[in-house]
Amino acid sequence: MRELAGKTAFVTGGAGGIGLALGSAFAQAGMKVMLADIEADVLAAAVESLRDSGPDTRGVICDVTDSASVERAAEASQEAFGNIHVVCNNAGVAAAGGIDDISVDNWRWVLDVNLMGVLYGIRSFLPHIRAHGEGGHIVNTASMAGLSSGLGFSPYVASKYAVVGMSEGLAAQLKPLGIGVTVVCPGFVRTGIGERERNRPARYGATQTPDPDSPAGQLLAHIAERLQSGLAPSEVAARVLSAIRGDEFYVFTHPEMRGEVEERFAAIMAGFDNA
C-alpha cells in the first residue's frame, strides 16, 4: 500500500511502547488512527499525546484475549472512521515460565494475548478489508524470539514462533487478493514490556515472580537490562511504515542478531543431512 495518507489504521497494544510509536507514525503519515488497549487511563493519555499529530486519533478499550472484545473494537473503529486499511496485531506480554516453573497460567496468558489476540484481530478485520476492496495491510508483531529460541523454553518463544508461522501462511493466501502482510521481528526495544504483569487479567491467576537467584530470575534480570538499552520504539515504527509502503513481509530491526537465525537454519539443515 504505497499511499497511507487519508487511510485508517487500527493498532492493538496502542497505549504504549511499539504500538503507540506505530500510532504516532501513522498519524504523522496523515492516517486516521484507532489505538486499542486493555489499559484505560494509559490509553486515554496516549490518544491525548497524539492529538495534534494527525487528522484524527481515537482510542477503544479492547482485551485481545476476548474475541468479542476485539469484534466490538472493530465495529467501533468502522463506526468512527468507515473503512479500515491497516491492522496492527501488536499487543503482547511476556511471562517467566521455563523449566524451573512450568506454570500453565503463564502459558495460557501469554498464548492468549500473543497468539489468539493476533488471530482474533485477523478474524475481525479481514472480511471487512476484503469487502471494501480498497486494499489493506495486516501487520503482526512477532519478535526475534519467533525465529530463534534464545530466551529458552518459554511461552513467549512458543507464541512468537506461532505468529511467524501463521503470518507466513496468511501472506501467501492474501497475496492474490492484494492484501499485504508484514511480520515484525524486533530484538530488544525500550518499552514497558518488562513491567510484564501489569495487565494480567485475574483469570490467569496471580503473578509468579521467580526467585532472583534461580536461572529464570537471572534471565529476567538480564532481559530487564537489555530492554533498558534497547532500540527506540519509533525506529521499529519507521521500519514498519516502510515495509507497508514497499509490501515487505519480514521486518527486522536488529541486524546484529542475524547470526542466531543462521545458526538455527544451519542446525535444521544438518538435521536434513541425516535424513
Ligand X SMILES: NC(=O)c1ccc[n+]([C@@H]2O[C@H](COP(=O)([O-])OP(=O)(O)OC[C@H]3O[C@@H](n4cnc5c(N)ncnc54)[C@H](O)[C@@H]3O)[C@@H](O)[C@H]2O)c1
For ligand X, the binding residues (CB under 6 A) are 12-13, 15-19, 37-39, 62-65, 90-93, 113-114, 141, 143, 186, 188-189, 191-193, 199, 227, 230
Report the residue number, 41 or 213, with the smaller CB distance to ligand X: 41
Question: How far is the C-alpha of 47 from the C-alpha of 34, rounded, in Å?
Answer: 9
Report the residue number, 76 or 113, with the smaller CB distance to ligand X: 113
The total of other beta-carbon atoms located within 10 Å of residue 137's CB is 23
Question: How far is the C-alpha of 167 from the C-alpha of 120, rounded, in Å?
Answer: 13
Which region, left, alpha or beta, applies to residue 199 given φ > 0 means left and ψ of -120 to 50 means alpha? alpha
Give the chain's length.
275
* 120, 156, 161, 204: the active-site residue: 156
Q: Element (H or E) spanning 88, and its range?
A: strand 86-89
3-state per-residue secondary structure call for 23-62: HHHHHHCCCEEEEEECCHHHHHHHHHHCCCCCCEEEEEEC
Q: How far is the CB of 226 from ligand X (least distance, A)?
A: 8
Nine cell digits for residue 222: 538480564
Q: How far is the CB of 118 from ligand X (least distance, A)?
A: 9
Report the residue number, 38 or 174, with the smaller CB distance to ligand X: 38
Report the residue number, 80 or 227, with the smaller CB distance to ligand X: 227
For residues 92 and 17, the answer to whether their CB atoms sit within 8 Å is no
Q: How far is the CB of 39 from ligand X (least distance, A)?
A: 4
Nine cell digits for residue 195: 513491567
Question: How far is the C-alpha of 216 from the C-alpha of 218, rounded, in Å?
Answer: 5
Q: How far is the CB of 117 from ligand X (least distance, A)?
A: 6
Residue 156 catalytic? yes
Q: How far is the CB of 59 from ligand X (least distance, A)?
A: 11
Report the residue number, 178 or 194, with the smaller CB distance to ligand X: 194
Residues tagged active-site = 156
